[in-house]
Amino acid sequence: MKDTAFVCLLSILPNACLAQEPVHIGSQRQLFLDNFVISQIDDLQQRMHQPVKHGAVIEPDQPWETTLQIRCAPIWDKEKGVFKVWMITSTNIPDLAGTSYAESKDGLHWTRPTLGQTEINGSLENNFLSVVPGDSWPDNGIANVVYDPDDPDPNRRFKGFYGVINRRPMVSANGIDWTLLEADELPSQDESNLSYDPANRIFIATLKRRGPYGRSHGIWTSRDFTNWKDTGVLFHADELDQELGIKQMDARQADTRYQLQRPLWKISDTYKGKTAKPRVDVYNVGLFRYEEFYIGTPAMFHSNGNRWNKDGFHLIQLVAGRDLKTFNRLGDRHTFIGPSMLGTGAYDLTQLIGPTAPVVRGDELWFYYTGIKYRARPKDADKKAGTVCLAVLRRDGFVSLSAGQQPGKLITRQIISSGNRLRLNLAVHDGGQARVALIGDNNEPLPGYDLADCNPLREDDVNQTVSWKSGSDIQHITGQSIRLHIKIQDADLYAFQFTDGD
């Protein structure tokens, strides 16, 4: 199954970029989520790609389970050889809700180990976690967990937040037995995410707060997981979101494959004496470091104007930036992960809470997210309503520079790299190809490295080595200022990278 892509125009940097100082990229993968590395493009389109859905991977199959939700990415425990995940778990037992735990060797088939921490129906044989005995929902929630390989204390390498209203930092050696830290609570409403940026050794939390159009999220950071800084940066919806939201609501209302439980708003309707008004806000947002970018997955809630916040649906979008201050909305705000159709057996029909971060699995990015059948439950609602879903994207596959039969070209800004090989993440379609030239300071190809000297690339692979008539070893240009001239036809270019290797 191929992914779906949305085409939008890429803003071209002015030719003044040619006079900029060279940028040292080392062996870092260079993606095209912005124009930073681009000097010129001709006849290329920027395309945002969607991951391919693989459906539910952890379903509510215990007698008491009704809905499973996720607000963290599964963590690989190298010593135990399993993935670990923590789930917000609703039950059919009055006053019983909290966090349950599961493990998997392959990320697809999950087991629920007996933890002996919480009593259910008179038995401790279940997978519910208990940090503070006697605490109940929402105090006992564990929504966010990360792994910190850089902590010298092995008893602190799993880190997480305790509580679903406000957040209390806590640590663990195994992700099962937790210790609360002597730290101030982080103020938050009932949505949050947590990730770890190993390149800068920064913990990043997005915490729900009010914004100009309803729900928004602030960014908090910490270097020790005890002392946190409110950066004041907000993810919030804007006026354009409201305009686009009306179109999304109209389209969904007209498409019976995605019918909601109640009719959507009509501008002439009133509710509690007020004219109905739809609203789009940011329900939740995951934020993670990927290569040189911070990428966010905001779940944009489209609320029924007749009953605000009682019915509606989520669309997961993408944002990206190179710092934790400014973010661009990718793909002209098209949907990154959207709802599945009725009648498919899927859970992610209405409420979709986006992934915290991807799990890198070889040449793929695995996104685990929450899928729920209802926002407003009908009388005949399924008892098992929510689950953990999986969607898979090509490595680096968020955005490509793409060409059809008409060849297109990319010329980078001046770069200084390290490594003896140049590799492209490139999908070449039938009859297509790609060639690369190395351009020197005089804006002319280096001898032997013109487009005509390049052996054409014709494969679909995330790690294709570029070679010329003289071979692929370019160790002699390491430390030099060069540009890349990449010409593609019937192909999608996702990234390039200089690496060491044969």
Is the Cβ–Cβ distance between 112 and 101 less than 8 Å? yes
What is the number of residues in the chain? 502
Identity of the amino acid at 221: T
Q: State residue 311's pLDDT score.
A: 81
Q: Is the pLDDT of residue 271 over 90?
A: no
For the domain made up of 5-43+406-499, the CATH class stated in words is mainly beta
Q: State residue 263's pLDDT score.
A: 55
User: Could you read off the pLDDT of 349-403 as tens digits, one per residue?
Assistant: 999 999 999 999 999 999 999 999 998 788 888 999 999 999 999 999 999 999 9
Q: State residue 221's pLDDT score.
A: 98
Q: State residue 85's pLDDT score.
A: 98
Higher-confidence position of 13 and 299: 299
pLDDT band at 306 (very low <50, low <70, confident <90, very high): low
Extents of the domains making up the chain: 5-43+406-499, 52-399
Q: What integer is the mean pLDDT of 22-35? A: 96
Which two structure tokens, joined as six digits, stand for 380?
Answer: 């005949």
DSSP code string of 323-347? SSS--EEGGGG--SB-PPPTTS--S
pLDDT band at 274 (very low <50, low <70, confident <90, very high): low
> Residue for token digits 């690369």?
436
DSSP code string of 108-125? SSEE------S-BTTB--
Q: State residue 262's pLDDT score.
A: 57
Q: State residue 467's pLDDT score.
A: 98
Q: What does the alpha-carbon distance between residue 164 and residue 99 come to, in Å, rounded to a whole number? A: 11
User: Could you read off the pLDDT of 450-474 as tens digits, one per residue?
Assistant: 999 999 999 999 999 999 999 999 9
CB-CB neighbours of 105 under 10 Å: 12
pLDDT band at 424 (very low <50, low <70, confident <90, very high): very high
Q: Which CATH architecture has domain 52-399?
A: 5 Propeller (2.115)
Q: State residue 4's pLDDT score.
A: 52
User: Could you read off the pLDDT of 132-181 as tens digits, one per residue?
Assistant: 999 999 999 999 999 999 999 999 999 999 999 999 999 999 999 999 99
Which two structure tokens, joined as six digits, stand for 443?
Answer: 């804006």
User: Could you read off the pLDDT of 87-98 as tens digits, one per residue?
Assistant: 999 999 999 999
Q: State residue 181's pLDDT score.
A: 98
The answer for residues whose C-beta is within 8 angstroms of residue 436's C-beta and 6 or more apart is 422, 424, 451, 454, 466, 484, 485, 486, 487
Q: Is the pLDDT of residue 245 over 80?
A: yes
Q: State residue 35's pLDDT score.
A: 95
pLDDT band at 74 (very low <50, low <70, confident <90, very high): very high
Q: State residue 128's pLDDT score.
A: 97
Q: State residue 268's pLDDT score.
A: 47
Nearest to 344 by CA among 237, 441, 257, 457: 257
Question: 3-class secondary structure for 287-313?
Answer: EEEECCEEEEEEEEEEECCCCCCCCEE
Q: What integer is the mean pLDDT of 84-109? A: 97
Chain-centre distance of CA 276, in angstroms?
Answer: 33
Q: What integer is the mean pLDDT of 103-111? A: 98
Q: Is the pLDDT of residue 14 over 90?
A: no
Averaged confidence pLDDT in the chain: 91
Q: What does the alpha-carbon distance between residue 301 and residue 299 come to, in Å, rounded to a whole number? A: 6
User: Could you read off the pLDDT of 310-338 as tens digits, one per residue?
Assistant: 788 999 999 999 999 999 999 999 999 99
Per CATH, 5-43+406-499 and 52-399 having the same topology is answered: no
Q: Is the pLDDT of residue 16 over 70?
A: no
In a 13 Å sphere around the CA of 480, the CA atoms on its Cβ side amount to: 15
